[in-house]
Amino acid sequence: MPRHTSRQFDFETIIRRHGTGALKWDRYAGRDIIPAWVADMEFLAPPAVIEQLCARAQHGIFGYTSPYTSVEEAAIEYMTREHGVAVERQWLVWMPGLVPALNTAARAYCEPDEAVITATPIYPPFLSAPRYQGRQLQKVPLRVRDDRYEFDLNAMQSVVTDKTRVFFLCNPHNPTGRVWSREELLQIIAFCKTNSLLLVSDEIHCDLILNPDLEHQSILRLDDWAYENSLTLMAPSKTYNLCGLACSFVVIPDARLRRPFRIATRGLFNEIGCLGYTGCEAAYRHGEAWRRELIEVLRENRDLLISFFAQNMPRIRILPIEATYLAWLDVRELGLDQAKQYFEDAGVGLNDGAQFGTPGYLRLNFGCPRSLLEQILARMDAAYRALPAG
Ligand SMILES: Cc1ncc(COP(=O)(O)O)c(C=O)c1O
């Protein structure tokens, strides 16, 4: 397959991941199923990241590693440069993942009879974290208006109680791909203020905005209130395809919030692996040209996917995808009891919407070379055609 002539980086070669312990592929080991489920991509990381990792590996000693000045500076500079937020070093809490950060937040800020509130559909650990930590969960469905998911503030207000402590926000949103607007986010902040809630804003997908006219709005840029009442969850892992390096960070400007968070992590996590820091620093310092091309590729994949479904599988509904490499498919009209299984039998591995709090949906990961996406779509199309007419 020839390289896209005008591109500097290779987003076209399909890399075999068999034998690397890849979670995404191993689920279907020995079966002819293309995995399009868990959120990592089928692209090589930026060359600059690979080079720095090789150089670090050559050093040969892999001892316990604390966050060091150059990685902290890389994260701070990145926050200012890309998101217009001035961050201080001591605000950063480094974590081996944001799922642990969600769990830590549930435990640190809620008592067992207190609740986290969030809106569904949502990335499954938002739902499991309160449960795993023995805390309560309040779920409110997002609503669809004018072909857009939006928060249902009245419904949220009717669910909240004096035991609700924390709002879990995902911005941009996994799985719907929404980039919440400034106005929408200000409404969320107002909701949190009214109800004295802490805002935990997971912004891991913030560098994967596909629409040129949209911009990520970090919660810290919107209202000074956020400096004393919010946590921002960040990582280079989704954008630069570094999920296996397990390096992320939480921005907690307020010392009174940082303390219980740190206490809640005690004894649970080791230091982040030294290669995680290396990858993070290299991505933030040297990854931008690669990221820009990635966005073009993802945009093309998204456009292909949207038009392919509209033309060939019109009973599967997809609302506009503004960010991420994840498509949220409404398959309710197909009338399948086991939609995930149905497409798996046809050779495509997807996520089941039930895990996101909304049965009747599937999530498709299109972060892959176009030729692989074409195979995924062809297989789904064949399965769709085999369905009884609706
Ligand atoms: C919104 C969101 N938060 C967190 C994560 C996972 O983060 P980590 O691998 O750092 O635990 C994902 C992965 O898909 C995600 O979509």
CATH of residue 73: 3.40.640.10
Q: Based on the domain organization, do 271 and 161 belong to the same domain?
A: yes
Q: Based on the domain organization, do 262 and 308 belong to the same domain?
A: no
Sort 292 into a burial class: Cβ within 10 Å, 0-12 / 13-18 / 19+.
exposed
Q: Based on the domain organization, do 315 and 271 belong to the same domain?
A: no
Q: Based on the domain organization, do 168 and 41 belong to the same domain?
A: no
Q: Based on the domain organization, do 137 and 229 belong to the same domain?
A: yes
pLDDT of residue 4: 65
Per the structure, the complete domain to which residue 149 belongs is given by 51-285
pLDDT of residue 3: 56
How many domains, the chain? 2
Q: Based on the domain organization, do 196 and 230 belong to the same domain?
A: yes
Task: Flag whether 354 is in a domain.
Answer: yes
Distance (angstroms) between ligand 1 centre and the Cα of 259 equals 23
Residues of the chain under the 70 pLDDT cut: 1-5
- DSSP bridge pairs for 117: 138, 167
Task: Flag whether 357 is in a domain.
Answer: yes
Which residues, 6+ apart, have CB-to-CB distance to 231 below 8 Å? 101, 105, 198, 199, 200, 201, 250, 251, 252, 257, 261
Instruction: Count CB-CB contacts under 10 A for residue 47.
Output: 16
- Name the phi and psi angles at 214, rounded to 5: -110, 150
Distance (angstroms) between ligand 1 centre and the Cα of 222 equals 23
Q: Based on the domain organization, do 128 and 246 belong to the same domain?
A: yes
Task: Flag whether 6 is in a domain.
Answer: no
Task: Flag whether 350 is in a domain.
Answer: yes
Q: Based on the domain organization, do 175 and 201 belong to the same domain?
A: yes
- DSSP bridge pairs for 118: 139
Task: Flag whether 15 is in a domain.
Answer: no
pLDDT of residue 166: 98
Residues with CB under 6 A from ligand 1: 39, 97-99, 123, 170, 174, 202, 204, 235, 237, 243, 248
Task: Flag whether 3 is in a domain.
Answer: no
> What is the CATH classification number for the domain harbouring 297?
3.90.1150.10
Q: Are strands 198-202 and 164-170 parallel, antiparallel or unpaired?
A: parallel
The enclosing H or E element of 202 equals: strand 198-202
Domain termination residue (choose one: 285, 304, 336): 285
Q: Based on the domain organization, do 116 and 242 belong to the same domain?
A: yes
Q: Based on the domain organization, do 73 and 179 belong to the same domain?
A: yes
pLDDT of residue 264: 97
pLDDT of residue 6: 86
Distance separating the N- and C-terminal Cα atoms of the chain? 38
Q: What is the CA radius of gyration of the chain?
A: 21
Longest dimension (CA), the chain: 62
Q: Are the beta carbons of 380 and 343 closer than 8 angstroms?
A: yes
Q: Based on the domain organization, do 277 and 343 belong to the same domain?
A: no
Closest to 364 measured CA to CA, from 348, 386, 347, 385 = 348
Distance (angstroms) between ligand 1 centre and the Cα of 98 equals 6
Probe target for ligand 1 pocket from 98, 170, 233, 363, with the most ligand atoms within 8 Å of CB? 98
Domain termination residue (choose one: 285, 301, 328): 285
**Angle at 84 (CA atoms; ends 81, 85), nearest 5 degrees:** 110
Number of helices (H) and strands (E), helices first, in the chain? 14, 14
Which residues, 6+ apart, have CB-to-CB distance to 186 below 8 Å? 222, 223
Question: What's at 144, amino acid-wise?
Answer: V
pLDDT of residue 194: 98
pLDDT of residue 389: 82
Structure tokens given for 110 = 């809620």
- Name the phi and psi angles at 372, rounded to 5: -70, -40
Domain termination residue (choose one: 252, 285, 318): 285
- DSSP bridge pairs for 137: 116
Task: Flag whether 7 is in a domain.
Answer: no
